[in-house]
């Protein structure tokens, strides 16, 4: 008999939808699976205030195909010039659910990001005061720090001092990739949580570098050693329910046109929205923990963000299918994770 699992409709707590024709191409993949998503603000130019966030939200809803239901949860891009008043306006908007820290230079479209956390302390203090979550790309950018160590160093240099200063600040440590980050989040207070991607749960850095360099597996933070992958799997599937509740689903699906990845200087980001929930199901299935998928995908996130769990259900079937070589992405194409290969689970229509 075919194995199935039915869970409350999940949400994606870290997603890049891009804009324009590309947005229209990728949005249906997400809306098919997820009821809501925290939409990242690293557009060009970035989404730095409530007005821009409202306009972006309208464009997303306009791009949603008839008959699909999906709620975009908007975020603001923190710059050196974001003010405490911007935070109050975001909180009062009702549709902005977090403020995103991109250390300038850390990742795709982060040039306008924060150059020094000390420049925005009053703004962060206001987030703590009004309870608006601070969403963090947790990597330092110092040139002397090895790229594989940038997340761990961020914890000591930025995250710990910041939480000492603002102990009630609500923090989502985004797309964690290391044992260090998993342990840090597990031992921090209930105001600190993390998103985990499917790709960091499924692959270590060998996948990207052995047998030829695979630009479509390059993302930031970059894939790490196997010990780190295992620590992430333990965090989301382990025995301690209190620990597990601090981690939730965030795909970091980040589409880039094929030519910009298959390039002498390829950009960072993996496209996973086409198979997001099935990829996570593979992880939980391999760990013998399918019973823990629902909390990770559908309950822990809304609980942290103070939103209701979905009343709808989705069903996954253990039935293998082959991922297309590419998908349309505006005028271009995007190469999805597992292009031309199989995924073991699929969403039931
Ligand atoms: N994860 C990535 O490698 N890329 C993201 C940016 C980000 O989430 O850091 C993107 O916007 O392409
Ligand atoms: Zn990031
Ligand atoms: Zn991202």
Complex-level ipTM: 0.99
Determine the distance separating the centroid of ligand 3 and the alpha carbon of 338, expressed in angstroms: 19
268: number of CA atoms within 13 Å, CB side? 13
- On whether 137 is known to bind a ligand per the annotation, the reply is yes
Q: Is the peptide bond before 45 cis (omega within 30 degrees of 0)?
A: yes
For 194-312, where are the alpha helices, taking DSSP H only? 198-202, 206-209, 226-237, 241-244, 258-261, 276-286, 293-294, 300-305
Q: Is the Cβ–Cβ distance between 157 and 149 less than 8 Å?
A: no
Going by CA atoms, what residue is nearest to atom 2 of ligand 1? 269
One-character DSSP codes across 126-161 = HHHHHT--EEE------TTS-GGGHHHHHIIIIIHH
- On whether 14 is known to bind a ligand per the annotation, the reply is yes
What pLDDT shows up at residue 1? 78
**Per-residue pLDDT for the chain (349 aa), expressed as one digit of tens each?**
789 999 999 999 999 999 999 999 999 999 999 999 999 999 999 999 999 999 999 999 999 999 999 999 999 999 999 999 999 999 999 999 999 999 999 999 999 999 999 999 999 999 999 999 999 999 999 999 999 999 999 999 999 999 999 999 999 999 999 999 999 999 999 999 999 999 999 999 999 999 999 999 999 999 999 999 999 999 999 999 999 999 999 999 999 999 999 999 999 999 999 999 999 999 999 999 999 999 999 999 999 999 999 999 999 999 999 999 999 999 999 999 999 999 999 999 8
Determine the distance separating the centroid of ligand 1 and the alpha carbon of 33, expressed in angstroms: 21
Pocket of ligand 1 (CB under 6 A): 16, 42, 107-109, 137, 219-220, 252, 254, 268-269
What pLDDT shows up at residue 65? 98
* CA–CA distance, 84 with 103 (Å, rounded to integer): 19
What pLDDT shows up at residue 110? 94
- On whether 61 is known to bind a ligand per the annotation, the reply is no
Three-state SS at 76: strand
**HEC letters along 211-239:** CCCCHHHCCCCCCCCHHHHHHHHHHHHCC
For 64-187, where are the alpha helices, taking DSSP H only? 84-93, 121-130, 150-154, 160-165, 179-187
Q: Is the Cβ–Cβ distance between 41 and 75 less than 8 Å?
A: yes
267 Cα distance to chain centroid: 17
Determine the distance separating the centroid of ligand 3 and the alpha carbon of 150, expressed in angstroms: 16
Q: Is 252 designated active site?
A: yes
φ and ψ at residue 76, rounded to 5 degrees: -105, 150
Q: In what order do the strands lie in the sheet with 96-101?
A: 12-15, 36-39, 71-77, 96-101, 134-136, 171-173, 192-196, 247-249
Q: Which of 200, 220, 273 to mutate to test the pocket of ligand 1 (most atoms within 8 A of CB)?
A: 220
| CATH code for the part of the protein at 4-347 | 3.20.20.140
Rounded to whole angstroms, what are the CA distances from 205 to 78, 144, 225, 258, 267? 30, 21, 6, 21, 17
């Amino acid at each position: 008999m075919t194995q199935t699992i039915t869970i409350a409709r999940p949400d994606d707590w870290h997603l890049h939808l891009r804009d324009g024709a590309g947005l229209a191409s990728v949005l249906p993949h997400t809306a098919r699976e997820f009821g809501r998503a925290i939409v990242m603000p690293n557009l060009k130019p970035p989404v730095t205030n409530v007005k821009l966030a409202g306009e972006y939200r309208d464009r997303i809803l306009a791009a949603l195909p008839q008959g699909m239901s999906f709620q975009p949860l908007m975020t603001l891009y923190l710059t050196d010039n974001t003010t405490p008043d911007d935070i109050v306006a975001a909180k009062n908007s009702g549709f902005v659910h977090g403020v995103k820290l991109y250390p300038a230079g850390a990742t795709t479209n982060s040039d306008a990001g924060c150059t020094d956390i000390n420049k925005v302390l009053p703004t962060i203090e206001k987030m703590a005061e009004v309870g608006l979550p601070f969403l963090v790309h947790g990597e330092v950018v110092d040139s002397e720090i090895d790229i594989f160590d940038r997340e761990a160093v961020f914890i000591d240099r930025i995250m710990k001092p910041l939480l000492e200063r603002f102990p009630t600040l609500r923090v989502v440590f985004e797309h964690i990739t290391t044992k260090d980050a998993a342990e840090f989040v597990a031992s921090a207070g209930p105001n600190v949580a993390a998103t985990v991607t499917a790709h960091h749960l499924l692959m270590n850095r060998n996948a990207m570098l052995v047998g030829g360099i695979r630009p479509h597996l390059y993302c930031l933070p970059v894939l790490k050693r196997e010990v780190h992958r295992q620590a992430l799997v333990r965090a989301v599937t382990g025995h301690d329910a209190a620990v597990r509740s601090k981690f939730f689903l965030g795909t970091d699906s980040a589409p880039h046109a094929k030519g910009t990845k298959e390039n002498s200087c390829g950009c960072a980001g993996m496209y996973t929205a086409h198979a997001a929930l099935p990829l996570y199901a593979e992880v939980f299935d391999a760990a013998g923990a399918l019973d823990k998928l629902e909390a990770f995908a559908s309950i822990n996130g809304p609980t942290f963000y103070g939103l209701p769990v979905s009343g709808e259900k989705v069903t996954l079937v253990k039935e293998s299918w082959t991922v297309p070589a590419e998908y349309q992405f505006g005028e271009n194409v995007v190469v999805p994770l597992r292009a031309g290969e199989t995924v073991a689970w699929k969403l039931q229509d």
